[in-house]
Structure formats: structure tokens, C-alpha cells
Amino acid sequence: MTASQIHRPGTAEHLLDVRNLKVCFQVSDRAVRAVDGVDFHVKPAECVGVVGESGSGKSTLIRAISRLMPNLRVSELSGDLRFEGRDILGMSERDIRALRRSQGFSMIFQDPLGYLNPTHRVGRQIAEALSPHSKGESDSQRVHSLLEEVGFSDPKSVAHSFPHELSGGMRQRVMIAIALASDPKLLFADEPTTALDATVQLQVLQTLYRIHKERNMAVVIITHDLGVVAELCDRVYVMQTGKVVETAGTVDLFERPKHSYSARLIELSAHRINFRSAGL
């Protein structure tokens, strides 16, 4: 166990504090423990990475936290989950929706096309997600400034387009704009650039990083690509079969991994490039 795991500062410092989260799915006649006693926290304005392979429970973890878990087949969901000290699991559906709507948390996903309505123009979909605001700025002005914030030089024409008219990278930018529309304090990004080309991935991550800094918004990024977290995140959780096997500052993790699984993941992503010379 590392020092950072034992030391647990008061909840007050944490934007998000999760203790002993357990999630169990009922699959035909047996129970599968997707998340098995995970402790997890995010400080305000921090960028946290969660890495692990498929089935490690990383997506389930943030879906449980953001209460985007279909009740169907969940046989157990327990733990102490707090967002700004408020109990997430005990919240009513209405309260949780209020939290998503304004200054709570937002999510972006791997496949933006699956989350955008193909029949509505982009601008309208961003406007729907806008947090309640005082008079002064019109909805369309706010939509345009959001589109500018995520890197579009011509927000007007983008707002007027349909999702299918945009490229993958542009769609992901639109998703980010929708996520930002509620002025979140925390953004969950589940494999946000996995479907994108390397050059586009770099641009989207640069944009995400800039927004994270400009807004002082905390970001939790879930990925299987260690290259993404290495430069982006302050701290990383490594998950394997539902458990956090290591958590450390990014530089510590990459330069002095303590758990053999983390070491193997890092080695694989670094040496895959020299796979042949490494004699694998």
C-alpha cells in the first residue's frame, strides 16, 4: 500500500470523495463484481486519470459515481460517495439531475455520434444543455462562445450543422461544448479520444487541457492509453479486475511503478514500439 492510499485528508478538501464503492451485476445466475471496494477522490481543479484494460471496472466506476447506472441487473451498489460533501447515492433523481444541469458534473464519451441527436442541429443540442442563467446573454450568444471555447473558429456555421456533417474530432469538440454548457466543476471523460486519429487526438487533448486550466475545472479521464494520461494528468489510478491496484502522482507512477501490473502496462505501451527488438 502506498503512502497516498493511507493518507486520506478530510472530505472538505475533496470535490469528489468515494469510499469502498462496490458494484455487482447479475449476469444470468451469477453475480459479477465489476467494482470491488474502490476508494477514489478528486480535488478541485485536479486532472485525474483512471487506466486499466477492458473489464477492469473503470467505466463502471464513473457511471456509478455519476449515477448513470441502469438499475437493471445491478444487484449491489454500495459505498460512501460524496460530491462536495453531499451523498450521491442517497440523492433523489431530481437532485442528481439538478447537479448535472448546473455546476455539478458532466460527461463525454468515446463515441460522440452515439450521444448526439442526428436530427437536430448542433447549436440546439448545446442550447438544451445550458445551465439556468441570469438575463443578459442570449442562448445563442452562449452557444457561440462555448463553440469558440472548444476551438471552432467559425461557431455560427458549426452551430447550424448537423452532427453527420462534422468530422470525428469536431463532434468530440461539440460534445465537450455540451458538457461545458452546465458549467461543471467536474468533467468525466470516458475514452474521449480513442476513436480519433493521432493528430486529431493530440489537438482535442490540448483543447481539453486548456479548458481544464482556464476554467479550473476538475477532469477525470478514463483511458486504456497510458500515453494520454502521461502528459495530461496530475494523478493516476490503475485499475485491474474491479480494484485499484495503484494510485500515484503521474511522474511517480511512470518512473517508479510499485505494482507489477502498472509496470507491465507502462512497459507494454512504451516497448510496443520496440516489440521486435524487445524480443517479445
**What residues line the site for another protein (CB under 8 A)?**
53-55, 148, 151-153, 165, 167-170, 197-203, 205-207, 209-210, 224-228, 230-232, 250-251, 253-255, 264-266, 268-270, 272-276, 280
Least gap, CB of 277 to another protein (angstroms) = 8
Cβ proximity to another protein, 91 vs 200, nearer residue: 200
Least gap, CB of 121 to another protein (angstroms) = 14
End-to-end CA distance of the chain: 30
Cβ proximity to another protein, 126 vs 266, nearer residue: 266
Cβ proximity to another protein, 45 vs 91, nearer residue: 45
Whole-angstrom distance, CA of residue 109 vs CA of residue 99: 19
Whole-angstrom distance, CA of residue 207 vs CA of residue 226: 18
Q: Which helix (H) or strand (E) holds 139?
A: helix 139-149
Least gap, CB of 11 to another protein (angstroms) = 28
Whole-angstrom distance, CA of residue 155 vs CA of residue 65: 33
Least gap, CB of 96 to another protein (angstroms) = 32
Cβ proximity to another protein, 68 vs 280, nearer residue: 280
Burial readout 229-241 (b: 16 or more C-beta within 10 A, e: otherwise): bbebbbbbbbbbe
Cell of 198: 493521432
